Amino acid sequence: MTTFQAPKGTYDLIPPESATYLAVREAISAPLQRAGYGYIETPGFESVELFSRGVGESTDIVTKEMYTLTTKGGDELALRPEGTASVLRAALENNLHRVGNLPVKLWYSGSYYRYERPQAGRYRHFSQVGAEAIGAEDPALDAELIILAVDAYRSLGLRDFRLLLNSLGDKECRPVYRAALQDFLRGLELDEDTRARIEINPLRVLDDKREAVQKQLAGAPMMRDHLCEACKAYHEQVRDLLSAAGVAYEDDPKLVRGLDYYTRTTFEFVHDGLGSQSAVGGGGRYDGLSEMIGGPALPSVGWALGVDRTVLALKAEGVELELPSATQVFAVPLGEEARRALFGVVTELRRAGVATDFAYGGKGLKNAMKSANRSGARYALVAGERDLAEGVVQLKDLETGEQSPVALDRIVEELRAKAR
């Protein structure tokens, strides 16, 4: 009989490692919730056109990495390769920009899919937590989101990440720069695919990681030298706000990110302990995306942080998160009467907020105590017929080995106090 395996480039998230992923998601979302971001969830698949128009027809994501399918009704759908286009589509469809204050602040968490060559830190199915602030053009908003990401990383104990920062200009100054960059790139020795990209989106050539291309880009014109006065002033304000908040950053004039929708502020978080896949998250401002997908002008900014990459960064730094024990108390009944009585106690303890498990399957004392130790519980509750006749259960501290009888009608109160 065939034994099925997870598809190539994907993974199963299982205990105990899954607890770390949950803790990372919670740590990233906590600062967002304190800053007024509400949770949004969108479908795992969308219209192909949403991503080809929003993310960009010339991007690797759309041309090479998207999983697409045709439904029985003939609709062309794609598994979502990123979160921003979906969140903006949902905000527009549900008129969130009309029913409340702007910006509309949203955060999300979920799985995303790209057909890539699997390697450490790069999977075909990956997990992100993201945030979007829709409908306001304000350098304080760009700074807010960057600071919230930095605070999330710091709360996890990460220290060795770096923030790279750039400005990609706007519709006023980008065309002038684009023309200058195209003139420069046309004079280089590049392959056919890269030459085609020069005409569609020349900024993406700057993002080419191949050494042969990077060597030729040494004298390329930079966006920072072509920024209009408004974009210069905007970027300076973002930088000043970050510095005032104690956030260190590095100016990176070649930083463009892999999506076509970015304008002005662009940023990336990198961790040098991850090798070639050093990016752990990033984002930027995308003032024209709403119009690209058929909405009104809604200047917006956002980011997505990789949960998988963040877990790898924690491992690279040797950071072990303090995770609450999945089980605090483990109940071991000896005999049918004790089984009924202790199962009732287990239910009471759980309702009182104490993480409790039970020796299922009628195990003997020795095997049940092995299960108790494996569970990570601090305390074991053991009871047999004699204990019940005396109205007690035996409470054993699995760390010290100490054991003492506790009245059955007092055990929930006592364990609740110890669990605190």
Q: Which residue has the higher pLDDT, 104 or 179?
A: 104
Q: Is the pLDDT of residue 363 over 90?
A: no
pLDDT at res. 259: 65
Q: Which residue has the higher pLDDT, 118 or 294?
A: 294
Cα-Cα-Cα-Cα dihedral of 46, 194, 222, 299, to 10°?
-10
- Cα atoms in the Cβ-side hemisphere of radius 13 Å centred on 172: 7
Strand order in the sheet with 279-285: 38-39, 104-113, 125-134, 300-306, 279-285, 263-271, 161-167, 250-251
Q: Which residue has the higher pLDDT, 28 or 55?
A: 28
Let me know: does 341 contact 333? Beta carbons within 8 Å.
Answer: yes
pLDDT, mean over the chain: 92
Q: Is the pLDDT of residue 105 over 80?
A: yes
Let me know: does 411 contact 395? Beta carbons within 8 Å.
Answer: yes
Rounded Cα gap, residues 38 and 29, in angstroms: 10
Q: Is the pLDDT of residue 188 over 90?
A: no
Tokens 């990033």 appear where?
282
In the chain, the amino acid numbered 364 is G
Confidence of residue 63 (pLDDT cuts 50, 70, 90): confident
The residue count of the chain comes to 420
Q: Mind listing the pLDDT tens digit for each residue in 257-272?
A: 766 678 899 999 999 8
| Residue 265: Cβ-neighbour burial (10 angstroms; 0-12, 13-18, 19+) | buried
Q: Mind listing the pLDDT tens digit for each residue in 221-258?
A: 888 899 999 999 999 999 999 999 999 999 998 887 76
pLDDT at res. 116: 84
Q: Is the pLDDT of residue 60 over 80?
A: no
Tell me the C-alpha to C-alpha distance, in Å, between residue 102 and each of 37, 50, 97, 141, 300: 12, 23, 7, 11, 10
Confidence of residue 119 (pLDDT cuts 50, 70, 90): confident
Confidence of residue 203 (pLDDT cuts 50, 70, 90): confident
pLDDT at res. 142: 98
pLDDT at res. 62: 80
| Residue 386: Cβ-neighbour burial (10 angstroms; 0-12, 13-18, 19+) | exposed
SS (H, E, C) 226-256: CCCHHHHHHHHHHHHHHHHCCCCCEECCCCC
In the chain, the amino acid numbered 162 is R
In the chain, the amino acid numbered 302 is G
pLDDT at res. 117: 82
Stretch (H or E) spanning 357: strand 356-358
> b or e along 91-126 (b: 16 or more beta carbons within 10 Å of the residue's beta carbon)?
bbeeebbeeeebbbbbbbbbebbbebeeeebbbbbb
Q: Is the pLDDT of residue 401 over 90?
A: yes
Average pLDDT (296-318) is 95
Stretch (H or E) spanning 315: helix 307-316
Rounded Cα gap, residues 363 and 287, in angstroms: 63
Q: Mind listing the pLDDT tens digit for each residue in 137-181?
A: 999 999 999 999 999 999 999 999 999 999 999 988 988 888 898
Question: Phi and psi at residue 139, in whole multiples of 5°?
Answer: -60, -25
Q: What residue ranges define each of the domains in the chain, with the CATH number in brackets?
A: 17-173+227-316 (3.30.930.10), 329-419 (3.40.50.800)
Q: Which residue has the higher pLDDT, 10 or 55?
A: 10
pLDDT at res. 397: 95
* pTM reported for the whole predicted model: 0.90
Q: Is the pLDDT of residue 58 over 70?
A: no
